[in-house]
Structure 1
């Protein structure tokens, strides 16, 4: 009976995906503060786009990154954490789309509510090819409140050349959805 209870508890934790976080920054099953999404890309019409907030911060490798540094370019902004299962699942998709659109589209990650060493290990393993701002306190994520629920991990935004939020996905993105949306915004 105990083995069955343990199995059910483990299954519940896995199904929870990116649930809430404990004080250590790690997910905690049953915490409903985190928002699940289906990963579908929602593209906004030009008239419905809002300006992206000015964000900047220290990257996981100690440099500084900002949206302003990519002014005039399409930017894919991905909110992730090393402890998030769906984030791990979508990492190869982001890496592949970033590689295929390099030159015309910039990618920037935002590592949210994570331990720096865990996030750095994630980046070494995934070799994303683009920088990530270390956002342990969640300030960068909060700047997007109203567009991305601060607790929606993973989330992906596409910022157009005018610095407006052109598309978003809550949840792990799929290759075709992301590539189609990036291509559409880039070719506008």
Structure 2
């Protein structure tokens, strides 16, 4: 009888731990971090498909949905404060958001991050656009993002026009981002 208690004492925690692991959301524990632009699109998030809708809380506590932004093109940037390439591209995104203000909505999607760290990031880089919180990785999965940063370009009618995996950095990155934005503005 004692032997069975010992076995139960050792096996039960293992079974419970395995069940907990299997029930967790299937989000990459460490999303890939892109140090250079990748034109390889993540599986499933292809141009021409409707952008998955969502309602999320922003870093400043407001509720925001994708449908609130439609009517104008939307640029969704998936980022995290711990992502070095995200830090490198933040000034380029901030500058583009200011330049295209009123014509394009920019939206940050903060992924698997601590809220206070994310707020510090936004303040440090002066991001002039809202960021929604994706603390459970469900937007990461819905948009099939496999690495950070990733930028999704959505037409004013809610269709994904393009996906850019990797950072927009330096003068070349700024030119590429501007060209993508100008193309996006031509879409219905």
TM-score class normalised by the smaller sequence = 0.7 to 0.9
RMSD, aligned α-carbons: 2.1
**Contact in 1 for aligned 2:34/2:85 (Cα 8 Å):** no
Q: Deviations over 1:128-167 (max 9, x none)?
A: 110001112111111112xx33xx1110011011201111
> 1:117 maps to what in 2?
116
**Contact in 1 for aligned 2:54/2:65 (Cα 8 Å):** yes
How far apart are the structure 1 equivalents of 2:176 and 2:86?
A: 16
> 2:73 maps to what in 1?
74
- Over 3 Å counting, the alpha-carbon distance change for 1:87 and 1:72 in structure 2 is same
How far apart are the structure 1 equivalents of 2:92 and 2:133?
A: 21
How far apart are the structure 1 equivalents of 2:55 and 2:180?
A: 24
- Over 3 Å counting, the alpha-carbon distance change for 1:97 and 1:33 in structure 2 is closer
What aligned pairs does 1:7-18 form with structure 2 within 5 A after superposition?
Answer: none
SS in 2 for 1:79: strand
Q: Deviations over 1:66-118 (max 9, x none)?
A: 21101221000000000010000000000011111111100000000111110
For structure 1, the residue ranges without an aligned partner over 5 or more in a row are: 1-30
> 2:141 maps to what in 1?
142
Structure with a larger share of its residues in helix: 2
What aligned pairs does 1:20-35 form with structure 2 within 5 A after superposition?
Answer: 33-34=31-32
- Over 3 Å counting, the alpha-carbon distance change for 1:89 and 1:33 in structure 2 is closer
Q: Does 1:38 align with 2:33?
A: no
How far apart are the structure 2 equivalents of 1:41 and 1:96?
A: 22
> 2:3 maps to what in 1?
none
SS in 1 for 2:148: coil
Residue 159 (structure 2) aligned to one of 149, 164, 169: 164
How far apart are the structure 2 equivalents of 1:92 and 1:108?
A: 15
How far apart are the structure 2 equivalents of 1:48 and 1:114?
A: 28
Q: TM-score, normalised by structure 1?
A: 0.74
* Offset, 1:176: 0.9
* Offset, 1:127: 1.3
Q: TM-score, normalised by structure 2?
A: 0.74
Q: Please list every run of at least 4 consecutive aligned residues from structure 1 whose deviation after the TM superposition is greater than 3 angstroms.
A: 35-38, 40-43
- Over 3 Å counting, the alpha-carbon distance change for 1:99 and 1:144 in structure 2 is same
